[in-house]
Amino acid sequence: MPWKETCAMDQKIKMIGDWLSDEYTITGLSQMYEVSRKTIYKWIGRYEAEGPSGLVERSRAPSSHANATPLEVAREIVAAKLRYQGWGPKKILAWLEHQYPGKPWPAASTMGEIFKREGLVRSRRKKRRTPPYTEPFNECNRPNAVWSADFKGQFRTGDGKLCYPLTISDNFSRYLLSCRGLSHPTLEETQPRFEEVFKEYGLPEAIRTDNGAPFASVGLGGLSRLSVWFIKLGIRPERIEPGHPEQNGRHERLHRSLKEATADPPRSDIKEQQRLFDQFVKEYNFERPHEALGQKRPASFYQPSLRPYPVKVPEVEYHSNAIVKRVRHNGEIRWKGELIYLSEALAGEPVALKQREAHLWEIRYSFHPLGVLNELTGRIVPLPSKQGREVLPMYPVEQGVRLSRDYIGAIIRNMKVERLHSWQVSIAQALDIQQRLAAQVSRNSEITTPRFIAGVDISGQKAQGMATGAVVILQYPELRLVETKLAQWKLDFPYIPGLLSFREAPLTLAACERLSVTPDLILVDGQGVAHPRRMGLASHLGLFLNKPTIGCAKSLLCGSHEEPGEKPGSYAEIVDRGETIGVALRTKLGVKPVYVSIGHKVDLQAAIYWVLECCRGYRLPEPTRLAHLAAGGNLEQERETVVPEVVYQAKLFG
C-alpha cells in the first residue's frame, strides 16, 4: 500500500470537520493533531470569521517597513528612467542627485529592483570579452592629448539612403566633440567635418583611429591623404591593431550608446537623423553621468585646446642637415638617378632622408617615420611606430609586405621536422655529425617579412631528472603571443659544452612538431655558428626544421670580442681563429650584451636586425624571453604539454 501524502491545509480542513461534528473537545483535538490548544482556537476563530479561505496561510511580512522607499520617491525614480530609458540605475541616481541636491535617494541597487518590478529592464545575455591589448599610445591624461575618431556602422534611414555617423571624442574627458551623419565615408566628406571641429575646439596632440579608409591606407607608413593633413597640422595619427577595436574601447562604448539612442529605429531621412544626433551629443556631454568620471559629466572635465586651427595649413619643414626630396604626383622620389616609390598619399609633399649607416637612409615625413631605404637594393624597410626606440633596421625586406597583408588566421598544419640522423649516438658519433652538418648550414638570408616568430628555450633538470622544452609563437609586428607548446622528458645525454644540442634538441623538436602555427623565423636561446665546430643548437634546429634560425645566447661559448658601446644597438664582433662568428650585441642600456650568431638561412646583419626588432625593453628579445618563462612554468598562457615520442630519446651508448 503506497504512503498517503498530506499537507497542512488538508489537516486544517479535517480538524475543522472534526470540531463541527461535536465529537471532540478542544483538548482532544489538540492531542489528536499534536498542536497547542491556542493554535486550535486560532484556526477555529479564523474559520468562523472568514470561512474556508481563513485557513490559508497568511504572509508573515510586516505590513510596513521603516526603510521602504516612499511611493512618491519611487514614482520620481520611474519617471527619470522613462525619460532616459537607456540609462542604468547608477546613472539615474547620479542624475537625480545632480537635479535635486540634498534630497535623499535610495541606493542604485534599490533603484535597480524598482526598475525590475516595474518591467523597465531588459535582460541581456552575458558576452565574452576580449582581453585588452596594450600599445605604446599617447597617455590620455589631459584634455586634447588624444582624440578618437571612427565611423559607427552604417545604416539606412527611412528613405532608404545610407547614413555613416562620424564620431569624434576626447579620450580623457569622454567629451563627444562631433557626431555627424555622412552619406559616404570619403575624404571629401570627412575632412570638412574635422575642420569644423578643429575650428571650434582647437587641435589635439594625437588622433586615434582604426586602419580603414579614409584614416589610413596599406601604403608606406600607413598614410592616407587625411593622415598626411593631420601631420601637417602637428597631429600624430595613431592606429589601433587590425581586428582589435577594444584598443579604442571607450570610443566603441560610445558607439553602443549612440546606436541605442539614435538608430533603433532610424529616422525618416538624414536631416531628421542629424537632429537626433545633435540631441544625443547634448545629452551625452551635459546630462549623462559617466562611471569612469566618478558619475560626473564630460562637460565638467573638457576644455578646448590651446592650439588653434591655423588660417593656413603650414608646410612641413626640416633641419638643415637633412636631404629633402619632394614626392612626385605618382608617389615616387628620385634618388641618385633611380626612382623610388613611396606613396601617392604624399604626392607634392617634401620628405627628408638622413643617413644612419652605410647605404642605409632613414626616410621621414615631418615627425612620422616612413622606413629605411637601402640604396644598394632600392628597397625600403617599413617601420612600425615605436616610442623610445633609437635602433634602426640594418636589413632590407620587401617594401610594403607587412602593410599590405593583414593577418587573418593562422595556417593550421603540423610543423614538418626532418630526420637527419638518429639521436641515439655516442660522443664520438655526435662530434662527427656536427662536422658533417656544419657544411650544410646556409649563411645567406632567406627571411622576408615574417608573420610569425618563434622563440625556443629549455629549462634545467628538476625533480626526477625531468626537463621542459618550450616553443612560443608570436605574431609580428605586435609580438602578441598566439601559441605555446611544451615537451617534458628526461635528459639522458650528458652535459658536455659544445654538444648541448644532442641533449636539448630532441626535447625542443618534440614541441615544435606539434605546433599548429608554422613560424617564419625562429630565435633560439643558444649558439648558432658561434660554436667551436660552427654547429650550435640554433644551427642544428634550423637544419632539422628547414627554417631560418638565429642564435641568441646569454653567455659566450668560444671566441673573443671587445666591449660593445653602451648605446642600445651597439655591437662588437666575436672572432674565433680569425673568423667572425657572431656579435656581442647591446640590447638595453646598462645591461650585459647578448651573443648573436647565424643559425641557418640567415646572414649576420639580418640576425642583428631581427634580434633588435624583437626587443621590447628587456635584455632578451621577446620570443626567447617568453620561451624561457614558459619552460620554467612562469608564463600565464594556455599551453599544451606533450611527451616526446621514443624516437626523440637521446640515449648514450657505444
Write the DSSP assignment of 579-632 as a string of letters.
Answer: EEEEEEE--STTSPPEEEEEEES--HHHHHHHHHHT-SSSSS-HHHHHHHHHHT
> Which of these ranges, 61-65, 257-261, 298-302, has the smallest mean pLDDT?
61-65
Average pLDDT over residues 407-412: 28
Say whether both 112 and 30 belong to one domain.
Answer: no
Say whether both 554 and 461 belong to one domain.
Answer: yes
Return the H-helix or E-strand segment holding 429.
helix 427-438
Arithmetic mean of pLDDT over the chain: 82
Is there a domain that residue 521 lies in?
yes
- For the chain, give the percent of residues with pLDDT over 90: 33
The pLDDT of residue 636 is 62
The CATH number of whichever domain residue 433 belongs to comes to 3.30.2170.10
For the question of whether the overall pTM of this predicted structure is more than 0.85, the answer is no
Cβ atoms 515, 414 nearer than 8 A: yes
CA 119 to chain centre: 38
The pLDDT of residue 411 is 29
The pLDDT of residue 279 is 92
User: With 0-12 CB in 10 A as exposed, 13-18 as middle and 19+ as buried, what is 73?
Assistant: middle
Cβ atoms 467, 649 nearer than 8 A: no
Is 70 exceeded by the pLDDT of residue 39? yes
pLDDT category of residue 57 using cuts at 50, 70 and 90: confident
Rounded Cα distance, 452 and 473, in Å: 6
Say whether both 492 and 363 belong to one domain.
Answer: no
Is 50 exceeded by the pLDDT of residue 395? no
Query: Strand ranges (DSSP E) for 377-428?
Result: 379-382
Rounded Cα distance, 344 and 223, in Å: 9
Is there a domain that residue 138 lies in?
no
- Greater model confidence, 599 or 248: 599
Cβ atoms 417, 512 nearer than 8 A: yes
pLDDT category of residue 557 using cuts at 50, 70 and 90: very high
Listed ranges 119-123, 262-266, 324-328, 414-418; the one with the highest mean pLDDT: 324-328
Say whether both 590 and 482 belong to one domain.
Answer: yes
Report whether the peptide linkage leading into residue 214 is cis, meaning its omega lies within 30 degrees of zero.
yes
The CATH number of whichever domain residue 226 belongs to comes to 3.30.420.10
The pLDDT of residue 116 is 86
Is 90 exceeded by the pLDDT of residue 410? no
Report whether the peptide linkage leading into residue 477 is cis, meaning its omega lies within 30 degrees of zero.
yes
How many domains does one find in the chain?
5
Is there a domain that residue 64 lies in?
no
Is there a domain that residue 408 lies in?
no
Say whether both 32 and 98 belong to one domain.
Answer: no
> Which of these ranges, 1-15, 88-102, 441-455, has the smallest mean pLDDT?
1-15
Say whether both 294 and 358 belong to one domain.
Answer: no
Average pLDDT over residues 7-20: 83
| The three cell numbers locating residue 72 | 512618491
Instruction: For residue 94, report the phi and psi dihedrals to the nearest 5 degrees.
Output: -65, -40
Cβ atoms 353, 323 nearer than 8 A: yes
To 5 degrees, how large is the angle CA 257–CA 258–CA 263?
Answer: 120
Say whether both 296 and 327 belong to one domain.
Answer: no
* Tens digits of residue pLDDT in 127-178: 544 333 333 445 567 889 899 999 988 889 889 899 999 999 998 889 999 9
Q: DSSP letters along 26-93, please?
A: HHHHHHHHTS-HHHHHHHHHHHHHHGGGGGSPPP-S-S--TTSPPHHHHHHHHHHHHHSTT--HHHHH
Average pLDDT over residues 52-76: 81
* Tens digits of residue pLDDT in 454-508: 999 998 755 556 788 899 999 988 899 999 988 887 777 888 888 988 988 888 8
Say whether both 397 and 546 belong to one domain.
Answer: no
The pLDDT of residue 386 is 44
* Tens digits of residue pLDDT in 192-203: 999 999 999 999
Looking at 236, 269, 300, the residue that finishes a domain is: 300
Average pLDDT over residues 340-359: 88
Average pLDDT over residues 41-61: 84
The pLDDT of residue 169 is 92
The pLDDT of residue 638 is 40
The pLDDT of residue 139 is 59
> What is the DSSP code (8-state) at residue 311?
S
Looking at 96, 117, 138, the residue that finishes a domain is: 117
Is 90 exceeded by the pLDDT of residue 360? no
- Greater model confidence, 90 or 415: 90
Say whether both 38 and 171 belong to one domain.
Answer: no
Q: Would you mind telling me the total number of residues written for the chain in this entry?
A: 654
Query: Which position has the grid cell 617634401?
Result: 350
Give alpha helix (H) positions in 202-332. 225-232, 249-262, 270-286
The pLDDT of residue 622 is 95
* Tens digits of residue pLDDT in 276-308: 999 999 999 998 888 878 888 888 889 998 889
The amino acid that residue 541 corresponds to is: L
Listed ranges 74-83, 373-382, 612-621; the one with the highest mean pLDDT: 612-621
Say whether both 156 and 250 belong to one domain.
Answer: yes
Is there a domain that residue 92 lies in?
yes
The pLDDT of residue 640 is 44
Is there a domain that residue 312 lies in?
no
The pLDDT of residue 239 is 84
Is there a domain that residue 222 lies in?
yes
Say whether both 210 and 254 belong to one domain.
Answer: yes
The amino acid that residue 124 corresponds to is: R
Say whether both 238 and 282 belong to one domain.
Answer: yes
Q: For residue 42, give its domain range.
A: 8-55
Looking at 361, 388, 403, the residue that finishes a domain is: 403
> What is the DSSP code (8-state) at residue 322?
S
Is there a domain that residue 123 lies in?
no
* Tens digits of residue pLDDT in 562-613: 999 998 889 999 999 999 999 999 999 889 999 999 999 999 999 999 999 9
